[in-house]
Amino acid sequence: MAIVRALRVPLRLRPRFSSLSSIAGSISTLVIGEHEGGAVKAPTLSAVEAAKYLGEGNSVSVLLAGTGSSLQDAAEHAASCHPSISQVIVADSDHFVHHLAEPWARLVQLVQQREGYSHIVTVSNSFGKNVLPRAAALLDVSPITDVVSISGPNQFVRPIYAGNALSTVRYTGNSPCLLSVRSTSFPEPTVAADFRAEKAPISQDSIRKSRYVKLTSQETERPDLGNAKVVVTGGRALKSAENFKMIEKLAEKLGAAVGATRAAVDAGFVPNDLQVGQTGKIVAPELYLAFGVSGAIQHVAGMRDSKVIVAVNKDSDAPIFKVADYGLVGDLFEVIPELLEKLPEK
């Protein structure tokens, strides 16, 4: 049964520190949550799922911030969306409408100082990457970011060198242990759970030295790149934004998301949020099709965990063929139309 609580923060803050080893057995996790349109977003559920691996009897609280009825609806949803969630904390203030790092990090610090969790978890998407390290600095602890595997309350594996090596690290510091996890490594389960939630609105103030101006994004009906089952990616060989429409057509046929290499984004064929790679999005779909992609280390870093990789490239020496399960040496301008013709409708 999940309880939604108001957060009342005392003006005099009593920091609570305890070493992790002394609280073994009393693990409690705060998940930094995101919501949209009155529901908790999928990445938050990945973070909740990851929290399970921290230890037995881990009680998970989800922290949501924002304002208005969509926040309250999201809190209701959070209270029932995963069996591990025992509490939802709501921070209701217009400081959180645009999820800036400064008020958010301060909020996490205050919640931690009040509640004393052993772990704080978020997903390593652009929100988590922006907020978690700042919160860690305020709490004076080293965070462990982009975790792909958790083997207990203080041992984690994270990729380094564009995923060409894996680093196993042990956290030996004070509570809380802060981590961000890759959502592709902790896929959210499909669960239906029972709930009864009490809610109370809370107030949370924060210093504002930054302000949100706008978001420019593309309208699309394609599934979200981060969790699509099929991804079709184009590289610089597409030669133009006009040609990239072929990739989009193929994606539509397959019910897939569209991805791109850095070269294609730099050349202006597609916007930045389609970039797959070491410093772009990390994806791990069932099927990844790469057209005109050379397979540079930095791109492979973003898709190497895909279940099946298909590569089409005119150059038989392209490095992409080393990582592909199925490779076709050929001209994408001939192959894609042929695929469009011969593939069944999704």
Partner 1 sequence: FDQEKKIKNRESFSFWIPSQSNVCCPFKLTLSSLIVARVEHLSPPAKMKIMVAVKRVIDYAVKIRVKPDKSGVETQNVKMSMNPFCEIALEEALRIKEAGLASEVVAVTIGPKQSIDTLRTGLAMGADRGIHVEATGDLFPLAVAKLFKALVEIEKPGLIILGKQAIDNDCNQTGQMVAGLLGWPQGTFASKVVLDKEKQEVMVDREVDGGLETVCLNLPAVITTDLRLNQPRYATLPNIMKAKSKPVKKYTPEELNVGTKSDLEVVEITEPPKRKAGVLVSSVDELIDKLRNEAHVI
Shortest distance (Å) from residue 2 CB to partner 1: 21
| Residues 6+ positions from 65 with CB-CB distance below 8 Å | 71, 90, 91, 92, 93, 96, 99, 104, 107, 204
Q: Are 343 and 317 in contact (CB under 8 A)?
A: no
Residue 155 in marked binding region: no
Place of tokens 């994408």: 332
Binding mask 263-302 for partner 1 (x = CB under 8 A): --xx----xxx----xx-x----xx---------xx----
Which residues 242-261 are close enough to bind partner 1 by CB under 8 A?
254
Shortest distance (Å) from residue 29 CB to partner 1: 18
Does residue number 5 form part of the binding site for partner 1 (CB under 8 A)? no
Does residue number 96 form part of the binding site for partner 1 (CB under 8 A)? no
Residue 294 in marked binding region: yes
Does residue number 104 form part of the binding site for partner 1 (CB under 8 A)? no
Which residues 212-231 are close enough to bind partner 1 by CB under 8 A?
212-218, 226, 230
| Residues 6+ positions from 81 with CB-CB distance below 8 Å | 40, 45, 191, 193
Exactly one of 29, 184, 206, 233 binds partner 1 (CB under 8 A); that residue is 206
Cα distance between the two ends of the chain = 40
Exactly one of 159, 234, 235, 302 binds partner 1 (CB under 8 A); that residue is 159
Does residue number 86 form part of the binding site for partner 1 (CB under 8 A)? no
144-147 sheet: strands from edge to edge: 3-6, 85-92, 59-66, 28-32, 119-123, 177-181, 144-147
Does residue number 342 form part of the binding site for partner 1 (CB under 8 A)? yes
Token readout for 264 is 């294609």
Shortest distance (Å) from residue 115 CB to partner 1: 18
Q: Is 70 helix (H, G, I), strand (E, B) or coil?
A: helix
Q: Which residues are part of a known binding site for FAD?
A: 236, 261-262, 275-279, 292-299, 313
